[in-house]
């Protein structure tokens, strides 16, 4: 009868069987750290008088609102106008994350890589390498993901990101 397919039927079909274990998170699903870093930057930007701070704050606000293309535009404008600014490194980091969140993994990889080349010992270098590896995983480029994780482990041992890299390497090896 038609009434045997009610609203609950679709729900029951999608529930895992009793006792089923959820699959482990894929390497690309390690939670990003940029949202917490974003809040710290917003707080710091409130009292800054750096040249370009207005454009930088607009980028941060766009990130917070999930308006990633606008965030990329604001951060890019800041970097072009004030390339030597101390805001340039975080602007590049957040722009790369905005590209990642928007699904532009190829562009995000280039931006994260540029950040690490320009600021190899910078505040965001280890986080950028981890996100770069995650973007490679999203593109099913496991070889470059592994190489990026190895660089992270070698250059930034002892960081929380290096610990996440260890987890990702194990996940990549088990596939």
pLDDT in tens, 102-147: 999 999 999 999 999 999 999 999 999 999 999 999 999 999 999 9
Nearest to 133 by CA among 29, 7, 53: 29
Q: Going by C-beta distance under 8 Å and a sequence separation of 6 or more, which residues neighbour residue 174?
A: none
* 3-state class (DSSP) for residue 160: helix
pLDDT of residue 73: 98
The rounded distance, in Å, linking the Cα atoms of 113 and 106 is 11
Domain chopping of the chain, boundaries: 32-102
- Residue 175: band (very low, low, confident or very high) from pLDDT cuts 50, 70, 90: low
Q: For residues 129 and 151, is the Cβ–Cβ distance under 8 A?
A: yes
The rounded distance, in Å, linking the Cα atoms of 152 and 148 is 6
The rounded distance, in Å, linking the Cα atoms of 104 and 47 is 32
Nearest to 88 by CA among 52, 63, 36, 46: 52
Mean predicted confidence (pLDDT) in 66-80: 97
Q: For residues 56 and 78, is the Cβ–Cβ distance under 8 A?
A: yes
Q: For residues 126 and 145, is the Cβ–Cβ distance under 8 A?
A: no
- Token readout for 4 is 């045997």
* 3-state class (DSSP) for residue 122: coil
User: Which residue would you say has higher pLDDT here, 123 or 173?
Assistant: 123
| 17-44 pLDDT tens trace | 444 444 444 555 688 889 989 999 999 9
The rounded distance, in Å, linking the Cα atoms of 17 and 32 is 30
Q: For residues 152 and 168, is the Cβ–Cβ distance under 8 A?
A: no
pTM more than 0.85: no
């Amino acid at each position: 009868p038609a009434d045997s397919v009610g609203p609950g039927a679709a729900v029951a079909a999608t529930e895992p069987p009793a006792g089923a274990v959820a699959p482990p998170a894929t390497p690309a699903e390690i939670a990003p750290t940029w949202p917490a870093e974003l809040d710290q930057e917003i707080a710091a930007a409130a009292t800054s008088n750096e040249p370009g701070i207005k454009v930088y704050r607009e980028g941060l606000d766009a990130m917070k609102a999930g308006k990633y293309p606008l965030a990329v535009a604001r951060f890019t404008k800041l970097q072009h106008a004030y390339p030597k600014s101390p805001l340039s490194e975080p602007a590049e980091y957040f722009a790369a994350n905005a590209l990642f969140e928007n699904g532009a993994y190829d562009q995000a990889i280039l931006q994260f890589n540029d950040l690490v080349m320009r600021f190899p010992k910078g505040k965001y270098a280890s986080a950028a390498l981890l996100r770069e590896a995650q973007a490679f995983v999203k593109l099913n480029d496991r070889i470059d993901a592994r190489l990026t994780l190895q660089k992270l482990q070698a250059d930034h041992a002892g960081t929380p990101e290096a610990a996440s890299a260890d987890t990702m390497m194990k996940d990549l090896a088990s596939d």
